[in-house]
Amino acid sequence: MPEDFVMNPLSVITKLYHSDPGILNRLEDISNHFRSLLKDDYTKIPLVNEVPLELIPPNSLVRFKAMVQDMFDPEFYFGQYETINKITGQNNIQLGCFTDTIHCHHDNEINYESAKNVTLQRFTFCCIPIPGLNAWLKNKNSQALLFHHCTSSVSKKRPADDNNMEEDKIISDTCKKSKKDIQNDKAELIHDQVDISKNIPQLQGDDQTVFIKMYSDTTCLKLNDTAEFICILSANPEVVTNSSDDFESFTNGHDPSDLEEFAHNVPPSKVPRLHCLFFNKFNCFNQDIIIKKCLYESVFREIISIRGDIIALFTQLLGGDRLIAEYLLLHLISKVYGRCGTLCLGKFSMNITKCPGENFTTRLYSSIQSIVEKSAYFPLTIDSLNNKKFVPKKDYEANRLVYGALQLACNTQVVIDETQMQPGKLNAEGIRNLTAIGNVIQWQRLDYDFEFSQVEMEANLNMLVLSEGKSLLNCDIHIPLKPDGSYSDCVQELSDQQLEKIRLYLTAVQSLEYQLTEEVQKALEDDFVEMRKQDAKSVNADSFYLLLTTARYMSLSYGQTKLSSSLWIKSKELDMGRRNR
Digit-coded pLDDT (tens) for 503-537: 999 999 998 999 998 899 999 999 999 999 988 88
How confident is the model at residue 204, as a pLDDT?
A: 56
pLDDT for residue 107 is more than 90? no
Helices 496-510 and 293-301, interaxial angle, to 10°?
80
Q: How many CA atoms lie within 13 A of 471 on its CB side?
A: 27
Q: Strand pairing partners for 480?
A: 353
* Lowest-pLDDT range of 101-110, 218-227, 571-580: 101-110
Contacts of 141 (CB under 8 A, 6+ apart): 287
Nearest to 217 by CA among 8, 465, 30, 467: 30
For 91, the enclosing helix (H) or strand (E) is strand 91-95
Tell me the pTM. 0.86
Nearest to 440 by CA among 373, 392, 369, 480: 392
User: What is the pLDDT confidence band of residue 544, given thresholds at 50, 70 and 90?
Assistant: very high
Cα–Cα distance between 151 and 154 in angstroms, integer?
5
Helix ranges (H only) for 511-564 are 518-534, 541-557
User: In this prediction, what percent of the chain has a pLDDT beyond 90?
Assistant: 64
How confident is the model at residue 192, as a pLDDT?
A: 37
pLDDT for residue 68 is more than 90? yes
As to burial, measured by CB atoms within 10 angstroms (0-12 exposed, 13-18 middle, 19+ buried), residue 39 is: exposed
**Average pLDDT over every residue of 413-438:** 96
pLDDT for residue 38 is more than 90? yes
CA 304 to chain centre: 32
61 contacts 6 by C-beta, under 8 angstroms? yes
How confident is the model at residue 150, as a pLDDT?
A: 46
DSSP symbols for 233-278: EE--GGG----HHHHHHHHTTS-TTHHHHHHHS--TTTS-EEEEEE
How confident is the model at residue 290, as a pLDDT?
A: 61
For 209, the enclosing helix (H) or strand (E) is none
User: What is the pLDDT confidence band of residue 256, given thresholds at 50, 70 and 90?
Assistant: low
Q: Could you give the 3-state DSSP secondary structure of residue 10?
A: helix
Q: Strand pairing partners for 417?
A: 379, 466
Q: Strand pairing partners for 108?
A: 85
385 contacts 417 by C-beta, under 8 angstroms? no
